[in-house]
Chains A and B, each alone.
Chain A
Amino acid sequence: MVTAAPIARANRRLTLRLLAVTAAMFGFGYALVPLYDIVCDLTGIGGRTGIISEATATTRAVDASRVVKVQFVATVNSGLRWEFEGPETPLEVHPGKVYEASFSASNRSKRPVVAQAVPSVTPVGAAAHFNKIECFCFTRQRLEPGETRAMPVRFVVGKEIPRRIGTLTLAYTFFEAEPASASAARRAAASDGIGANG
């Protein structure tokens, strides 16, 4: 029979180890955030697109034998009083070649608004092969009341895009980028108890 003291020591040691595992798994929950980003960038889950430099893009060979249709979709979150449109007709592109498409946004509200466009590409298999060189979605956009601005995106479709993909859709959704005061308002609304409307 083992005496009490060594057991107590062994128990303490094992407990501390398991607590360390617990803490590590809590950390792992957070580590899943960057891990997910990496997986998304690699596989295009979540419509995640790639970003490459102009220099890299222009050195690539063009596959003139293939045509992929790129369709543009523009969405405005209903909280934002903007109008936002993309090119109406799809663009037929050769993989490897750089193209530019121009979206257009105008602020229909009576105050200056800062907004952020969120890009997404479908089908999922295509997203990883869609590379942007320059995009209005890289930064927040500020529009004065009534102002209209052309918003260009320069992109190249990778040559490795699977054969079965004939059409891909590039979608942008504009959301109001929360100014400091709005997030404070949201927090205040939340601490009021509920999201009351009226």
Chain B
Amino acid sequence: MTFDSRLFRRWIHRASQAAAGLAALAPLSAAYAEWELNMPRGVTLISREAYDQHMLMLWWCVGIGVVVFGAMFYSMFRHRRAAGHAAANFHHNTFAEIVWTVIPVVILVLMAIPATRALIVMEDTSEADMTLKVTGHQWKWRYEYLEDDVDFFSSLAPESREAIYSDPYATDNYLLEVDNEVVLPVGRKVRILLTADDVIHAWWVPALGMKKDAIPGFINELWTRIDEPGIYRGQCAELCGKDHGFMPIVVRAVPDEEYVAWVDDRHAAQELVAQEALRDWTVEELMVRGREIYITACAACHQQNGQGLPPSFPAITGSEIATGPLDAHLDRVMNGKPGTAMAAFAQQLGDSDLAAVITYQRNALGNAVGDSVQPSAVRAAR
């Protein structure tokens, strides 16, 4: 772990800010927009229902609190021995006890009615305009647009990953930025199907107002209709292992036309990737692409410098696999190692990306095997 003094100075600075905030006991000003207090109202019917229920309950609780604690503080002030108050000796009052059993029941019913109504609205599973299948992986999301034939993985953006051990303030949207955003059309009802590949994850974007678990072998659903264009950020919400805190979700909501254009772009890009996989790549090209892939797909476990976190996550640097025969290296990356955290990447990465990352692992991170892999070799190994 590196310890740099710039970071330390920043801590001191933040600490003084925090102390100031504490002293004021209130959000300071617009300049301190981070002192966020409340749930966002969000941009969907569901998020607004959640927000309204939340605020309603909050005010109920404040009201009850004022009455109960008010009585308590009044009593503590008036019925002190220091104030000369002599103790009464009652210990029972059936009427009072019935009253404070019945009143809470009535209040609970008043709370339950709107909550039930909201829940029925939220569980509306009727006709949707499109379906997005989301699969949780350790530690990335896979998005498949079932009708539009778009399919990609989405991982923590490389800029964020690089900032973890240096300066989180140096990048925009630290930990809430991905390499591939989910794009959804505004005003369309989207049915989101959730499942997972390894352990349980949970897909959650606060502005959309709903989270649901993604469970391996099972399928769950939630739906959303986004009202306003914008970028909405969220995170995995179910502990899913080491990098649970590093698998964000970014949803970009756009008007219909833009969505259609994006789908076309995606198709073109997928086509381009397929084309690119057919030609021979230079070693430089492989190394540049390989580094990008390494950071998004490998660095979480094997670390950016390739040292890994032994014994769970072995080093790439000097490893038998990464410096040994090419076939074994290809096999390990493509098929993983059963019974361990090493996933199979054959599904997750295309031919060129696999060729690039394997080449990178063999010729960087302190390794210098000197050979390279072409996409065609990966294709042959499939």
User: A residues engaging B (CB < 8 A)?
Assistant: 46-47, 69, 71, 73, 75-79, 81, 108-109, 118, 120-123, 125, 164-167, 169, 171, 173, 175, 182, 185-186, 189-190, 193-198
Chain A residues with CB below 8 A from B348, complex form: 78
Chain B residues with CB below 8 A from A122, complex form: 193, 219-221
**B338 interface residue per 8 A CB criterion:** yes
Q: Do the beta carbons of B125 and A164 come within 8 Å of each other?
A: yes
CA distance A109 to B127 in the complex (A): 39
CB distance from A41 to the nearest CB of B (A): 15
Q: Do the beta carbons of B312 and A73 come within 8 Å of each other?
A: no
Q: Which of A121, A167, A175, A197 is B217 in contact with, Cβ under 8 Å?
A: A175
Q: Do the beta carbons of B337 and A77 come within 8 Å of each other?
A: no
Interface size on B, residues (CB 8 A): 45
Q: Do the beta carbons of A79 and B336 come within 8 Å of each other?
A: yes
Chain A residues with CB below 8 A from B347, complex form: 76, 78
User: B residues engaging A (CB < 8 A)?
Assistant: 123-128, 131, 133, 135, 137, 146, 191, 193, 195, 197-198, 216-221, 301, 311-314, 319-321, 332, 335-344, 346-348, 382
Indicate whether A78 sits within 8 Å of B338 (C-beta atoms), given known contacts A122-B219, A123-B125, A173-B217.
no
Q: Do the beta carbons of B126 and A196 come within 8 Å of each other?
A: no
CA distance A173 to B135 in the complex (A): 11
Q: Do the beta carbons of A81 and B193 come within 8 Å of each other?
A: no
Q: Do the beta carbons of B319 and A121 come within 8 Å of each other?
A: no
Q: Do the beta carbons of A196 and B311 come within 8 Å of each other?
A: yes
Q: Which residue of A lies closest to B133 (CB)?
A: A73
Indicate whether A47 sits within 8 Å of B336 (C-beta atoms), given known contacts A78-B344, A167-B128.
no
Chain B residues with CB below 8 A from A185, complex form: 338-339
Q: Do the beta carbons of B195 and A165 come within 8 Å of each other?
A: no
Q: Do the beta carbons of A198 and B221 come within 8 Å of each other?
A: no
Please indicate which of the listed interface residues B125, B146, B195, B321 has the most CB atoms of chain A within 10 Å of its own CB. B125
Indicate whether A118 sits within 8 Å of B217 (C-beta atoms), given known contacts A73-B193, A173-B195, A185-B338.
yes
Q: Do the beta carbons of B133 and A195 come within 8 Å of each other?
A: no
Q: Do the beta carbons of B125 and A165 come within 8 Å of each other?
A: yes
CA distance A169 to B146 in the complex (A): 12
Indicate whether A198 sits within 8 Å of B311 (C-beta atoms), given known contacts A75-B135, A81-B344.
no
Q: Which residue of A lies closest to B382 (CB)?
A: A108
Q: Do the beta carbons of A197 and B197 come within 8 Å of each other?
A: no
Q: Which of B125, B127, B335 is A125 in contact with, Cβ under 8 Å?
A: B125
CB distance from A105 to the nearest CB of B (A): 14
Indicate whether A46 sits within 8 Å of B218 (C-beta atoms), given known contacts A78-B336, A164-B125, A197-B341.
yes
Chain A residues with CB below 8 A from B313, complex form: 197
Please indicate which of the listed interface residues B127, B217, B337 has the most CB atoms of chain A within 10 Å of its own CB. B217
12 extra interface residue pairs, beta carbon distance < 8 Å, beyond A123-B221, A167-B126: A47-B218, A77-B216, A78-B197, A78-B198, A108-B382, A121-B219, A166-B125, A167-B125, A169-B221, A185-B338, A186-B339, A198-B321
CA distance A197 to B138 in the complex (A): 14
Q: Do the beta carbons of B340 and A195 come within 8 Å of each other?
A: yes
Please indicate which of the listed interface residues B137, B340, B382 has the most CB atoms of chain A within 10 Å of its own CB. B340
Q: Which DSSP category, helix, strand, loop or mixed, fits chain A's interface?
A: mixed
List the 4 shortest-distance A-B pairs measured between CB atoms, nearest first: A197-B342, A197-B340, A189-B339, A171-B219
CB distance from B326 to the nearest CB of A (A): 16
CA distance A194 to B313 in the complex (A): 10
Q: Do the beta carbons of B125 and A197 come within 8 Å of each other?
A: no
Q: List 18 A-B contacts (CB under 8 A).
A: A69-B127, A71-B146, A73-B146, A77-B216, A78-B198, A81-B335, A109-B335, A118-B218, A121-B219, A164-B125, A169-B219, A169-B221, A173-B216, A190-B339, A196-B311, A197-B313, A197-B340, A198-B342
CB distance from A193 to the nearest CB of B (A): 7
Chain B residues with CB below 8 A from A121, complex form: 219
CB distance from B93 to the nearest CB of A (A): 37
Q: Which residue of A lies closest to B135 (CB)?
A: A75
Chain A residues with CB below 8 A from B343, complex form: 78
Indicate whether A75 sits within 8 Å of B195 (C-beta atoms), given known contacts A171-B219, A195-B340, A198-B319.
yes
Q: Do the beta carbons of B339 and A195 come within 8 Å of each other?
A: yes
Please indicate which of the listed interface residues A69, A76, A164 has the most CB atoms of chain B within 10 Å of its own CB. A164
Please indicate which of the listed interface residues B219, B311, B342 has the most CB atoms of chain A within 10 Å of its own CB. B219
CA distance A153 to B332 in the complex (A): 35
CA distance A122 to B314 in the complex (A): 40
Please indicate which of the listed interface residues A169, A194, A197 has the most CB atoms of chain B within 10 Å of its own CB. A197
Q: Do the beta carbons of A198 and B337 come within 8 Å of each other?
A: yes
CA distance A61 to B84 in the complex (A): 83
Please indicate which of the listed interface residues A69, A77, A189 has the most CB atoms of chain B within 10 Å of its own CB. A77
CA distance A171 to B314 in the complex (A): 36
CA distance A175 to B146 in the complex (A): 21
Q: Which residue of A lies closest to B301 (CB)?
A: A197
Q: Which residue of A lies closest to B217 (CB)?
A: A118
CB distance from B128 to the nearest CB of A (A): 7
Chain B residues with CB below 8 A from A78, complex form: 137, 197-198, 336, 343-344, 346-348
Chain B residues with CB below 8 A from A79, complex form: 336, 338, 344
Q: Do the beta carbons of B127 and A167 come within 8 Å of each other?
A: yes
Q: Do the beta carbons of B219 and A186 come within 8 Å of each other?
A: no
